[in-house]
Amino acid sequence: MKIHEYQGKELLARYGVPVPIGISAQSADEAIAAIPQVQKKSGVDTVVVKAQIHAGGRGKGGGVKVCKTAKDAEKAVGDVFGMQLVTHQTGPEGKKVQRLLIEQGLDIEHEYYVGMTLDRATGRVTVMASTEGGMEIEEVAAKTPEKILKESINPAVGWQDHQARRLGFALGLEGKEVRALGKFLHALTTCYWEMDCSLLEINPLVTTTDGRVLALDAKVNFDDNALYRHKDIEEWRDLSEEDPAEIEAKKYDLSYIKLDGTIGCMVNGAGLAMATMDIIKHYGGEPANFLDVGGGATTEKVTEAFKIITRDPNVKSIFVNIFGGIMKCDTIANGVVAAVKEVGLEVPLVVRLEGTNVETGRSILGQSGLEIVTAADMADGAKKAVEVVK
Amino acid sequence: MSVLVGKGTKLIVQGMTGSAGAFHARQMVEYGTDIVAGVTPGKKGAEVEGLERIPVFDTCVDAVRETGANASVVYVPPPFAADAIVEAAAAGIGVIVAITEGIPAHDMIKVKAGLAMDYPSTVLIGPNCPGIITPGQCKIGIMPGYIHEPGDVGVVSRSGTLTYEVVHQLTTHGLGQSTAIGIGGDPVKGMDFVECIERFNEDANTRAIFMIGEIGGSSEEEAAAYIKANVKKPVAAFIAGQTAPPGKRMGHAGAIISGGKGTAAAKIEALEAAGIAVAASPAEMGSTLKSIL
């Protein structure tokens, strides 16, 4: 799960991570009212108006404005609030800005990058730091990997201060700043562990001319599997940032991702679902979605899955590919029949069933009177689903 | 023959009194797996429908002492699964198969480090996996037993249903399996490709190997390097997710292309460079292996 920058900073501040003074706003009026408050609290005139969307590259897209006066800031609020912000992560249509963060301006001396995430190769959390703050870290990793410093966290002893010192000196910091970085990273790693984060990225982390170390940005992602331990965090979920079909799918424990193609897919198991997308492409088609109905799906869930697929106007044919294990083929067949009876069927439907209770499943489809194209195997099904679209 | 599990496997089912545990325990018994005990804290002496002859214990230690169990399968809900895995290891169980889906990553980080430290010889398979099967001898997990055929192809896979697909294709092509291992789709897990392939390589009765990878991480690349250096047996592979868009998590917590890493193209390149036959489509997995035998 992702949260906004202002929420991330609120969370980090609870752990003692220094962040700039700021106020979040959900309307232009609120944002304008926040400007003098931030100026007063910080004692400086300069404020920064920051668009709050779940995507990186906001500055380049025109969603972050540094303003020297309250008047400039008011104008910036007018420009940014409600704009359709396009960044390299939003897609060409962009995202509408519905929240702003008004923040104090700082006298920045240098920008750094600090991030932490799970390193699958070691099965441990890795803390990364770089002098190339403010840059796209993937770009730095690709072009100059030696500029990214790494420290692994041993889960038995946790994050150690000597690791922070090692990073600090390697980044070229001195005395007071190294100590400040030590405190900063101690707070950050504590937050990461206690809150079950999956990614925590501060880009940039800044040093100021008066020797402070602050998080100028905050990207915080949580492990979905651990959200049951953090009910309060779940309240921060911003549903307007998520695809409505994906939200609907989650309600029924379905894993759905919308794609750009024309062939709707319903599959059990993530690996088989990916392979089904692959085989459609292999035969010259384009999948309209990834959809894993999971192992324990009921007839009701299958019906909902079918509805989600048919709601996509791009879908020109549907390929149901099931290899029953725990999932029984008769459950799938009943779900498909129920869904078609409820919502109708306007595009060709190709079904491939194999595995547990396959005979029962096939006879349910056969006796349903529905116009279903049956497939002998995965290749046959994919070919048929692609052919009818052409 | 087989690796890790076989005729001599005596299995504990942790969470046997739950609905998933009971259902799959019945399926395993039907397949011929020797289940010797169930474990559910506070349910000692309970009887599970269809499994009345299998005693239920409060702790793994009791179950091991009373029955001589040497393997365990975990059907415990996510919040308690990490504890259940470590409990099995602490009781001296050698092979632990964690089926549970949705265990927090931080729990697994601690479990992995803890097992390596205190129980280095214990083998963990999973979590979030279909399990392990030696056809005709022992099935531990949730896979449909009937698609398997005893034989000499070792199968290792990150995906559940795609494992069924390849096993089905192999069986259809007359290629039975020595053992099929589903290592699971989580980012932090027990056995990885290399450890499984190592065992298949050493197993005199495994003649060839099929591996199924997917996007995300670098385990497939590590396996390719290991195979190139150590394995003389024929190896075929398939990588799922060739058409997956970057930045989207494809169902499994581990299946995501991020920062341009973990793409199917890079994995296929590494596998082919190691002399492994990579199936062009998931419908050609069985035929691809057959063509190199």
pLDDT by residue (tens digit) across B246-256? Answer: 777 777 766 77
Contact B162 A272 (CB under 8 A): yes
Contacts of A226 in chain B (CB under 8 A): 104-107
Rounded Cα distance between B237 and B268, Å, is 9
Tell me the pLDDT of chain B averaged across its residues: 94
pLDDT for B7 beyond 90: yes
Ranking A67-71, A249-253, B207-211, B266-270 by mean pLDDT, the lowest is: A249-253
| Cβ neighbours of A359 (radius 10 Å) | 10
Q: Which candidate in A293, A323, A329, A359 is best for mutational testing of the B interface (most B CBs within 10 A)?
A: A323
3-state secondary structure of B8: coil
Sequence-distant (≥ 6) Cβ neighbours of residue A387 within 8 angstroms: none
Tens digits of residue pLDDT in A148-176: 999 999 999 999 999 999 999 999 998 88
Tens digits of residue pLDDT in A321-365: 999 877 788 988 998 899 888 888 889 999 999 988 889 999 999
Model pLDDT, residue B259: 65
Tens digits of residue pLDDT in B33-62: 999 999 999 999 999 999 999 999 999 999
Cis-peptide into B127, omega within 30 deg = yes
Q: Which of A219, A214, A195, A205 is nearest to A54 (CA)?
A: A219
User: Active site includes A228?
Assistant: no
Contacts of B20 in chain A (CB under 8 A): 296
Rounded Cα distance between B221 and B209, Å, is 16
**Nearest Cβ partner for A155 among B113, B157, B280:** B113
**Nearest Cβ partner for A223 among B105, B247, B250:** B105
Rounded Cα distance between A378 and A321, Å, is 7
Q: CB–CB of B40/B46 below 8 Å?
A: yes
Model pLDDT, residue B1: 54
Q: Which of A325, A306, A323, A328 is nearest to A372 (CA)?
A: A306
Tell me the pLDDT of chain A averaged across its residues: 92
Chain B segment 191-210 residues within 8 A of A by beta carbon are none
Segment A262-278 shows an average pLDDT of: 94
Instruction: Identify the band that residue A21 occupies on the pLDDT scale cut at 50, 70 and 90.
Output: very high
| Cβ neighbours of A8 (radius 10 Å) | 25
Q: Which candidate in B24, B106, B211 is best for mutational testing of the A interface (most A CBs within 10 A)?
A: B106
Strand pairing of B71-74 and B95-98? parallel
Model pLDDT, residue B135: 97
Burial of residue A210 (CB within 10 Å: 0-12, 13-18, 19+) is: exposed
Q: Which of B32, B185, B165 is nearest to B99 (CA)?
A: B185
Tens digits of residue pLDDT in A121-149: 889 999 999 998 877 777 888 888 888 99
Burial of residue A143 (CB within 10 Å: 0-12, 13-18, 19+) is: exposed
> Which residue in B has a C-alpha nearest to residue A196's C-alpha?
B106
User: Active site includes A283?
Assistant: no
Burial B58-81 (b: 16+ CB within 10 A, else e): eebeebbeebebbbbbbbbebbbb
- Calculate how close chain B gets to A339, using CA atoms only, in Å: 23
- Calculate how close chain A gets to B218, using CA atoms only, in Å: 7
Sequence-distant (≥ 6) Cβ neighbours of residue A48 within 8 angstroms: A64, A65, A66, A67, A102, A103, A104, A105
Q: CB–CB of B97/B141 below 8 Å?
A: yes
**Nearest Cβ partner for A325 among B78, B164, B218:** B164
Instruction: Identify the band that residue A13 occupies on the pLDDT scale cut at 50, 70 and 90.
Output: very high
**Torsion angle of C-alpha atoms B122, B127, B130, B133, degrees rounded to 10:** 0
Ranking A190-194, A309-313, B53-57 by mean pLDDT, the lowest is: A309-313
Question: When comparing pLDDT for B10 and A298, which is higher?
Answer: B10
Segment A361-390 shows an average pLDDT of: 92
Instruction: Identify the band that residue B132 occupies on the pLDDT scale cut at 50, 70 and 90.
Output: very high
What single-letter DSSP state applies at residue A43?
A: S
pLDDT for A223 beyond 60: yes
3-state secondary structure of A67: strand
Tens digits of residue pLDDT in A28-64: 999 999 999 999 999 999 999 999 999 888 988 899 9
Q: CB–CB of B131/B142 below 8 Å?
A: yes
Rounded Cα distance between B228 and B64, Å, is 40
Rounded Cα distance between A188 and A17, Å, is 7
Question: When comparing pLDDT for A90 and B53, which is higher?
Answer: B53
ipTM of the complex: 0.91
Q: Which of B56, B53, B89 is nearest to B72 (CA)?
A: B89
**Which is it for the CA torsion B147, B152, B153, B154, positive or negative?**
positive
- Calculate how close chain B gets to A294, using CA atoms only, in Å: 9
3-state secondary structure of A327: coil
Write out the two tokens for A380.
Answer: 């046959």
Strand pairing of B235-240 and B208-214? parallel
